[in-house]
Amino acid sequence: MSESGTVDPHLQEVHRELAASVRQFGERHLRAVARDEKDPVARAREVGALLGAEGLLATAVPAPFGSADARSVLIAREGLAYFSLLAEMVFSAQGLASQLIESAGTEIQRRRWLPSLASGAVLGTVALAEPDAGSDLSAVRCVAEEDGPLFRLSGVKSWVTLAGGAGVYVVLARSPGTEKADGLSLFLVDGGADGVAIQPIEAIAALPVGELGLAGAPAVRLGSGTRALRQVSRSFEALRAGAAGAACGLGTRALDEAVRHGLARRQFGRALAGFQATKMAIAGTYSELEAARSLARHAAWLADAGSEEAGRAAGAARLVATEAAGRAVDRALQLHGAQGLVRGSTVERLFREARALRLREGTIDMVRLELAETILKENR
């Protein structure tokens, strides 16, 4: 794995130590996890327990209960995605759930959930999207009806990371009779509650995702329940540099696989790495990933410094990094020739996994629109 970042001025000693810990964790636990594509949710649960035992999930949870700053989140996601996108998804779901509980919850709710999320005693995730509400979350139809001090949630949530594996779901639902963003609130649903049903989604890669059916499932409202969409978009924004980091990690793995294969595979009497075309591809991929990594770290550094420019820097980083990762896996597969198409080879898996990076956590088209709006607004 590349040792990039050892002298990066955006990082502090604590971030370098974290990078080393994640790398050791990956070497020890994740190489085998990544090769096994059976029952992704069960494996995600196992990985969650390992991440918790190692103390790494505290990095996903904001202080004071955890130690998440934007740079730590980025470093952890980059390091995990290098070995296993599944592990990175467990970490980022924990982060998003924690972020929402921290920003929207009451003090009692923070104290109830965040220590358990930081230790890994509980795995969390968010259930926002629905079959008819993806990019446009104001179209969410899941209904929350009051039932004494509780609420009863009914509806279907789709593409939920860790569906069936999470102990707590942060769910977006609306009060009966409301429309659009008005009436939307966030709720906490216990994974083992009555009225919760799971339908796994079989995706292009072994991703731990599924549909969450809610039939009068008991829930508590997170905080006062106001301005839910704003809380969601702020939380996505807070984690966006980390999403860029995940793309850099996956892309770097593809680059390392390409270099390894280029040096080992011989054609026309020499290693593939000896051909200029191979060198061009390696240099191009390396440069694009380094550019993306610098942008991502700068964005995270801006976020930790409380800069107003952090949001747009993170948006730019996510665009550049996910595109760079897409090209990295494509070039790596091309260099592997037909071997790259064989089910179970590392580049074949990376090729399938990389596609999700441009769709989850809001598609990159939506990030583009948001970024452009910010730039245009400043110049109107």
**Residues binding ligand FAD (CB under 6 A):** 93, 125-129, 134-135, 159-161, 207, 209, 356, 359-360, 362-363, 365-366, 369
State in angstroms the smallest separation of the CB of 304 from ligand FAD. 25
User: Nearest distance from residue 360's CB to ligand FAD, in Å?
Assistant: 3
Residue closer to ligand FAD (CB basis): 93 or 196? 93
Residue 336 CB, nearest distance to ligand FAD (Å)?
24
Which residue lies nearer to ligand FAD by CB, 209 or 333? 209
Please spell the DSSP secondary structure of 309-362, one letter per residue. Answer: THHHHHHHHHHHHHHHHHHHHHHHHHHHGGGGGSTT-HHHHHHHHHGGGGTTTS
Decide the pairing of beta strands 196-200 and 209-221. Answer: antiparallel
Cβ of residue 93: shortest distance to ligand FAD, in angstroms?
6
- Of 33 and 209, nearer to ligand FAD (C-beta) is 209
Distance CA 371, CA 9 (A): 26
Smallest gap from residue 1 Cβ to ligand FAD (A): 23
CB-wise, 129 or 247, nearer to ligand FAD? Answer: 129
Residue whose CB is nearest to ligand FAD in the complex, by number: 134
Structure tokens at 175: 């009060």
Q: Which two tokens stand for residue 262?
A: 């280029």
Name the one residue in this structure whose structure tokens are 């990933």. 289
Integer Cα distance of 351 and 331 in angstroms? 10
CA 183, CA 187: separation in Å to the nearest integer? 12
Give min distance, CB of 246 to ligand FAD, in A.
Answer: 11
CA distance 169 to 164: 10
